[in-house]
Structure 1
Amino acid sequence: MKVAITGAHGQLGSELCAVLGAEHTIIPLDHSNLELGSPEAVAQIVATRADLVVHPAAFTNVDACARDPELAYRINGLGTRSVALACRKLKVPLVYISTNEVFAGDALTPYYEYDQPRPVNAYGRSKLAGELAVRELLDAFYIVRVAWLFGGTRNFVRTVLRLAEQPPSGGLRMVDDEFGSPTYTFDVALALRELITSEQYGTYHLVNRGVASRYSFATTILRLAGYEDVAVTPIKLADFVRDSTPPPYTPLSNLAGAALGLSLRPWEDAVAAFLQR
């Protein structure tokens, strides 16, 4: 199968190219041959003659999205609409990678796939716009929500390790009242490899099992990497001033994927595997 992957050099895109490339012909799409939100985007994707399109490319800088919500909508909303239109012309399925930030974060338990989205920031609203475009235009699609991704060279795990090498005065400060589902890109790619051949279309939460705060995520990384002596001070979201408003509680529950046998390992095991890799 010929699989076109947007954002092919990004954190998840590069992992997908490697994992799916073992069984499929990969058509990598990046800024050099695809400009999301431009009038040419539809034709550029149609020209690939792909049998399936996987769309992880996005404007993911949540603070920059807050500063320029129109750009966020243009890339994440209209850009995804272009990808969906191309799939409609090609008559092929689409895998759209969405986010935990489509939810408000006011729940008391992890969100299921069909809980009502209610984003509280510009990034979440733009990604939800992409979900709506996919549902409006296509019958054959997988909407896959992920959260707190780590993999590749730029992610939370590597940031914590870099800070541990030269800790700031007073040690690290990590938020302890923001909760999510830390998720390894390699595990997502393995699950997607199975999902795309299932033809079980719909909405999925593909995240590593378990719930973590930013504080517990960071302290686990330090412990597994041998930096137990690095001091970490818990702080509150209100103490961490930023342009975006992160939803405080957005762990995801993988109900639909688990029903197909797609269950990702606990996030602590995934962190250990990433550090070893």
Structure 2
Amino acid sequence: MRILVTGGQGQLGVALQRALSEHEVRALGHADLDVTSAAAVSEAIELLHPEVVIHAAAWTDTAAAERDPAAALAVNGEGSGNVARACAAAGVPMAYVSSNEVFDGEKGAPYDEDDPTQAINEYGRGKLAGEEAVRKAGGDFYIVRTSWLYGPGRTSFPEKIIERAQADGALRGVTDEIASPTWTGDLAPALSTLVSTRRFGLYHLAGEGGCSRKEWAEEVMRLSGIGLPVKPALQADFDLPYRKPVDSTLANHRAAALGITLRPWREALAEHMRTPQITELIAARAGQR
């Protein structure tokens, strides 16, 4: 199958290229394809003739989205609409990677696919606008919400926690932001399986279970052997221009009904912590002491 991946140089895009190795994959980064240009997107799809498009390109900097919401919306909302309309015109199914941050986090239980959305920050509003644009385009689509992505190839939360622990000797983690850590090494194969089903619609695909940022950092410290305590904090303790949902844990009901599941987040994190990216980071930092 010929598959076009947007956001091909991001951490999910890199993982998708590995997971889709049995297919003919063309992965385009921002330098290759500006999704805010409808003409460029249409031209790429006409030229490459994909059988499915996985749209992973996104503006993911939450703070920058608050400072420049129009620019973030241009990528996450309008850019996703450009991809969706070009796919619909070409008769090509697309998979749009969305976010847990389309929810306000006030439910008090994991969100399933039928729960109403209510974004509380500009990043979430942009991703929600992208979902709406995909639905309105008129083509076949998968909307896949995920959360707290991390994985090989880019510095993500576990790496940042290790670096901070070794540089500062102190850690704080918020207790009022809870979600589902999702390893790209699990999400990418799940996406690969999903797009082969042609069972179009809205899905949640995230690591099984949820935790706070503090609990996630504590597990990183335990698995790394560094063992530094993580002091509790609240979002309000940090000078941030945005709010995050208090508990936006995702329940993966529809994908599970198709036999597509992701591992519990602790199990996936343990595998990530055994990758060379992590073990070499720990060894290098230890050698600098």
Q: Please tell me the TM-score bracket, short chain as reference.
A: over 0.9
| Residue in structure 1 matched with residue 208 of structure 2 by the alignment | 209
| Mapping for residues 41-120 of structure 1, pairs under 5 Å | 41-120=41-120
| Residue in structure 2 matched with residue 167 of structure 1 by the alignment | 168
3-state SS of 1:127 partner: helix
- In 1, the alpha carbon distance for the partners of 2:131 and 2:102 equals 10
Per the TM alignment, residue 221 of structure 1 is displaced from its structure 2 partner at its CA by 0.7
Where in structure 2 are there 5+ consecutive unaligned residues?
A: 276-289
- In 1, the alpha carbon distance for the partners of 2:29 and 2:182 equals 23
Q: Is the 8 A contact 2:92 2:139 kept in 1?
A: no
- TM-score (ref. length: structure 1): 0.96
- Report which stretch shifted further, 118-127 or 240-249: 240-249
- Return structure 1 stretches of 4+ with deviation > 6 angstroms: none
- In 1, the alpha carbon distance for the partners of 2:207 and 2:244 equals 20
User: Residue 271 in 1 paired to residue 272 in 2?
Assistant: no
1:254 to 229, 252, 255: 252
| Residue in structure 1 matched with residue 9 of structure 2 by the alignment | 9
Which letter maps to 1:64?
Answer: A
Identity of paired residues, percent? 41
| Residue in structure 1 matched with residue 131 of structure 2 by the alignment | 131
Where in structure 1 are there 5+ consecutive unaligned residues?
A: none
- In 2, the alpha carbon distance for the partners of 1:252 and 1:140 equals 23
| Residue in structure 1 matched with residue 157 of structure 2 by the alignment | 156
Per the TM alignment, residue 42 of structure 1 is displaced from its structure 2 partner at its CA by 2.3
- TM-score (ref. length: structure 2): 0.92
Which letter maps to 1:186?
Answer: G
Q: Alpha-carbon deviations, 1:30-76, whole Å to 9, x = none? A: 12321111242222233211111000110000110011010111111
Q: Is the 8 A contact 1:205 1:255 kept in 2?
A: yes
3-state SS of 1:276 partner: coil
Q: Is the 8 A contact 1:46 1:87 kept in 2?
A: no
Per the TM alignment, residue 125 of structure 1 is displaced from its structure 2 partner at its CA by 0.5
Aligned pair count reads 273
Per the TM alignment, residue 194 of structure 1 is displaced from its structure 2 partner at its CA by 1.1
3-state SS of 2:168 partner: coil
3-state SS of 2:209 partner: coil
Which letter maps to 2:257?
Answer: A
3-state SS of 2:66 partner: helix
| Residue in structure 2 matched with residue 243 of structure 1 by the alignment | 241
Q: Alpha-carbon deviations, 1:188-231, whole Å to 9, x = none? A: 01111211111111111101111100000000011011011x13
Q: Is the 8 A contact 2:85 2:139 kept in 1?
A: no
Which letter maps to 1:58?
Answer: A
| Residue in structure 2 matched with residue 223 of structure 1 by the alignment | 222
Per the TM alignment, residue 4 of structure 1 is displaced from its structure 2 partner at its CA by 0.3
Q: Is the 8 A contact 1:99 1:127 kept in 2?
A: yes
Per the TM alignment, residue 114 of structure 1 is displaced from its structure 2 partner at its CA by 1.4
Q: What RMSD, in angstroms, separates the aligned Cα atoms of the two structures?
A: 1.1
| Residue in structure 1 matched with residue 287 of structure 2 by the alignment | none
Q: Is the 8 A contact 2:142 2:202 kept in 1?
A: yes
- In 2, the alpha carbon distance for the partners of 1:125 and 1:147 equals 15
| Mapping for residues 32-47 of structure 1, pairs under 5 Å | 32-40=31-39, 41-47=41-47
Q: Is the 8 A contact 1:46 1:89 kept in 2?
A: no
| Residue in structure 2 matched with residue 182 of structure 1 by the alignment | 181
